[in-house]
Amino acid sequence: MSVFSNKIILASASPRRKELLARHGFNFEAMPSAAAELTQDECPNPVELARQNAVLKAAQIAAQNPTSAVLGADTIVVLGGTVFGKPSDKADALRMLRALRGKTHSVFTAVAVVCESLGVKISDVEESRVSFKNLADSEIESYIEKVNVLDKAGAYAAQEFGGLIIEKIDGDFENVMGLPCSLVKKLLKLAFKKDPDFFCEK
């Protein structure tokens, strides 16, 4: 089994996901998905919500590019069963970070690989545990001023001034950034029976 091209399509505009794929040497192009994502009201289980949204993103781009391997991903922050998505504004970001301070939450990134022409649709989810410092409001406000939090699940980025707010991370750091490439490689190998290097720059 093979795909017609060794170039992956990343169904995302995320600069962090592009950075991670490039860091691992993948041959890819980014094509942001316009898929309508499910909400927690529609899918109460956070892990399943992330998985289904990753599949929806990949499937939407795969329908337009049927001979390509399309990679979709969805990252969510979860505390006590509640999903923290991207904040709507700085006040919402402040609310989220106040809720997360002094506690340990989960970061789930779902990864989906879809190739229409080969009938491939495979997905899995990675979890990391992130413990926040017990931050004062002034520390949270300072962090929000330093980082563009509005495009980040949970209103923070571990790779941007993460030491100001994060006590420790248990699990894959790339997962917290938004794309665990170890899981990407595992899924590509399962889906196409090829070494992931097949999809890397030669």
CATH number of the structural domain spanning residue 13: 3.90.950.10
Structure tokens belonging to residue 5: 């091209």
- 128 found inside a domain: yes
Sign, Cα dihedral of 61, 67, 68, 74: positive
Q: Name residues whose C-beta falls within 8 Å of residue 187's C-beta, 6 or more positions apart in sequence.
A: 111, 112, 113, 122, 123, 124
Total domains, the chain: 1
- 1 found inside a domain: no
Q: Angle, nearest 10°, between helix axes 181-192 and 15-23?
A: 70
Residue 5 has what pLDDT?
79
Range of the domain at 30: 8-199
Q: What is the pTM of this model?
A: 0.94
CA distance 116 to 62: 6
pLDDT by 10s per residue, the chain, length 202: 445 678 999 999 999 999 999 999 999 999 999 999 999 999 999 999 999 999 999 999 999 999 999 999 999 999 999 999 899 999 999 999 999 999 999 999 999 999 999 999 999 999 999 999 999 999 999 999 999 999 899 999 999 999 999 999 999 999 999 999 999 999 999 999 989 899 997 6
Residue 145 has what pLDDT?
95
Residues known to be catalytic: 74
- 29 found inside a domain: yes
- 2 found inside a domain: no
Q: Do you know the residue count of the chain?
A: 202
**What number of CA atoms fall less than 13 Å from residue 20's CA on the CB side?**
23
